[in-house]
Structure 1
């Protein structure tokens, strides 16, 4: 039985966009840098209505990715126990078991 994560992804995306919007309303350049997007996109999110954000958030894929964090955790030398635990927790949170 497959688990439907559509609602969870929607909520994650909407929260992400709302935080991005809040940062962009304060400083578009900072928002672009922190979220890894171009300034034009940050400006568009800054000016978007809640309905527009909801529409964008309704996509079927998550807008955020933990992959850069995972690369950082696994590239450290030596990797300490806390890093391994954090990486394991992140991997468990983004993977789904086959059922």
Structure 2
């Protein structure tokens, strides 16, 4: 752990709105059990790297509820199309 933090994560998303959604909404890491303190530092410039592996097989698109038990359908950011939803669910609207 670093200082008061007990987790450090690098999170990627399909677009900035989705990144903000998974950083502050019910499905964010900060709302997970055991997380004591968290901060969010968005990266302003996005650079593509051919060496950043994205595991597309994780986008199953067959579950009705997310692995973290959040229902995308009831999420305001999902309803207003500021989040593409979870790739594990049938509600996913992203590019994977």
Give the TM-score normalised by structure 2: 0.23
TM-score (norm 1): 0.23
Which of these two proteins has the greater Rg computed from alpha carbons?
A: 1
Structure with the bigger percentage of helix: 1
